[in-house]
């Protein structure tokens, strides 16, 4: 007789980044579109050059795609399980084009890269993990120093609508082999004074002999438009253009746009 599937061994407050393959089943679906957009940005706003950097590169879906398209790329992440997954997935040809290390966005340092990077990118709201103005500014300033004068930093994250009175929810479904992964993310009400929103992510994984729930809770730092623009200015970055998560290069957002999902194209400027 076959054993019944395990029922919800709950991993409450587990870190979903210790489960890279399930993370990528959800976030790996736009990889080619994102890379097409980044290549277009590099040509339209940047140097067109081929040395790139991904802070918080996670399980490496984008660094692998960048190498596949012929770029040299440096990636780093705080999470060793995510980096281990990234290293495992790479082909020998990709490995020759990619350098990975464990580091934090607040303190990454690479003197050999100063002034040499053509394009850095950091998508899907990862920047909001930086939980203070000092940490966010330190990250932007150190990334700016790595860029060539005409290089660009492509930074994508959701802005916060402080008067909001309802929770924000998103749901995605992905597949890993014979497993189905359902992801529910919830952003609670923002705390304007403390500049943070409570986040919760639930990954439910079902498949042959499997029924698993991974729940992660954390806080994301909050930014409205003026808060983001002020920080960029203080960090010595000029805002060249803004897009949304649809990644359509021919459709930059106008100044009055109400879209909260933003992709900022930043370039080293005059420091204040």
- Rounded (10°) CA dihedral 66, 149, 141, 48: -10
Alpha-carbon separation of residue 220 from 97, 125, 170, 186, 195 (angstroms) = 32, 9, 16, 11, 8
Binding flag, residue 62, ligand SAM (CB under 6 A):
yes
CB 20 within 8 A of CB 58: yes
Identify the CA nearest to 78 among candidates 55, 109, 53, 112: 55
Is residue 77 at the binding interface for ligand SAM, with CB under 6 A as the rule?
A: yes
Phi and psi based region of residue 70 (left: phi greater than 0; alpha: psi -120 to 50; beta: remaining): left
Question: Should residue 27 be labelled a site residue for ligand SAM when binding is judged by CB under 6 A?
Answer: yes
Q: How far is the CB of 123 from ligand SAM (least distance, A)?
A: 5
In the complex, least distance from residue 246 CB atom to ligand SAM, rounded to whole angstroms? 16
Binding mask 81-120 for ligand SAM (x = CB under 6 A): -x---------------------xxx--------------
- For ligand SAM, the binding residue among 25, 53, 57, 214 (CB under 6 A) is 57
Least CB distance to ligand SAM at residue 82 (A): 4
Stretch 250-269: interaction string toward ligand SAM, x if CB under 6 A: --------------------
- For residue 200, what are the β-bridge partners? 186, 217
Q: Which is nearer to ligand SAM, 129 or 153 (CB)?
A: 129
Q: Which residue is nearest to ligand SAM (CB)?
A: 58
Residue 79 has, within 13 A of its CA and on its CB side, a CA count of 17
Q: Does 220 bind ligand SAM (CB under 6 A)?
A: no
Is residue 196 near ligand SAM by the rule CB under 6 A?
A: no
Sign of CA dihedral 125, 127, 130, 132: negative
In whole angstroms, the minimum distance from the beta carbon of 11 to ligand SAM comes to: 17
Does 126 interact with ligand SAM (rule: CB under 6 A)?
yes
Q: Kindly state whether residue 124 participates in binding ligand SAM, applying the rule CB under 6 A.
A: yes
Instruction: Please say whether the beta carbons of 210 and 5 come within 8 A.
Output: yes
For ligand SAM, which residue of 14, 21, 36, 78 counts as binding (CB under 6 A)? Answer: 78
Q: What is the 3-state secondary structure (H, E, C) of 41-68?
A: HHHHCCCCCCEEEEECCCCCHHHHHHHH
Residue number, 6 or 173, with CB nearest to ligand SAM: 173
Closest approach, Cβ 57 to ligand SAM, in A, equals 5
Separation of alpha carbons 122 and 237, rounded Å: 15
- Give the shortest CB-38-to-ligand SAM separation in angstroms: 11
CA dist 110 and 143 (Å) reads 10
Closest distance between ligand SAM and the C-beta of residue 156, in Å? Answer: 9
Name, in order, each residue with C-beta under 8 angstroms of 45's C-beta and a sequence gap of 6 or more: 152, 240, 241, 265, 267
By CB under 6 A, name the binding residues for ligand SAM. 17, 27, 56-58, 61-62, 77-79, 82, 104-106, 123-124, 126, 129
């Amino acid at each position: 007789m076959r054993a019944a599937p395990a029922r919800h061994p709950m991993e409450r407050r587990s870190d979903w980044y210790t489960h890279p393959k399930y993370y990528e089943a959800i976030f790996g679906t736009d990889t080619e579109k994102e890379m097409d957009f980044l290549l277009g940005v590099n040509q339209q706003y940047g140097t067109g050059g081929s040395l790139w950097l991904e802070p918080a590169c996670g399980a490496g879906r984008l660094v692998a795609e960048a190498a596949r398209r012929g770029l040299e790329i440096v990636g780093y992440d705080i999470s060793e399980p995510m980096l281990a997954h990234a290293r495992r997935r790479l082909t020998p040809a990709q490995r020759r084009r990619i350098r990975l290390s464990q580091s934090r966005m607040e303190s990454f340092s690479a003197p050999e890269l100063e002034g040499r990077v053509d394009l850095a990118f950091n998508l899907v709201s990862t920047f909001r993990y930086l939980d203070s103005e000092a940490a966010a500014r330190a990250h932007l300033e150190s990334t700016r120093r790595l860029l060539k004068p005409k290089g660009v930093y492509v930074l994508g994250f959701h802005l916060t609508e402080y008067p909001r009175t309802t929770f924000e929810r998103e749901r995605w479904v992905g597949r890993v082999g014979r497993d189905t992964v359902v992801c529910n993310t919830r952003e609670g009400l923002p705390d304007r004074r403390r500049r943070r929103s409570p986040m919760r992510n639930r990954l439910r994984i079902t498949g042959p002999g499997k029924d698993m729930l991974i729940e992660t809770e954390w806080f994301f730092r909050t930014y409205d438009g003026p808060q983001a623009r002020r920080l960029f200015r203080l960090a010595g970055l000029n805002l060249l253009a803004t897009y949304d998560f649809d990644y359509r290069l021919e459709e930059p957002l106008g100044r009055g746009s109400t879209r909260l999902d933003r992709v900022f194209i930043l370039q080293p400027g005059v420091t204040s």
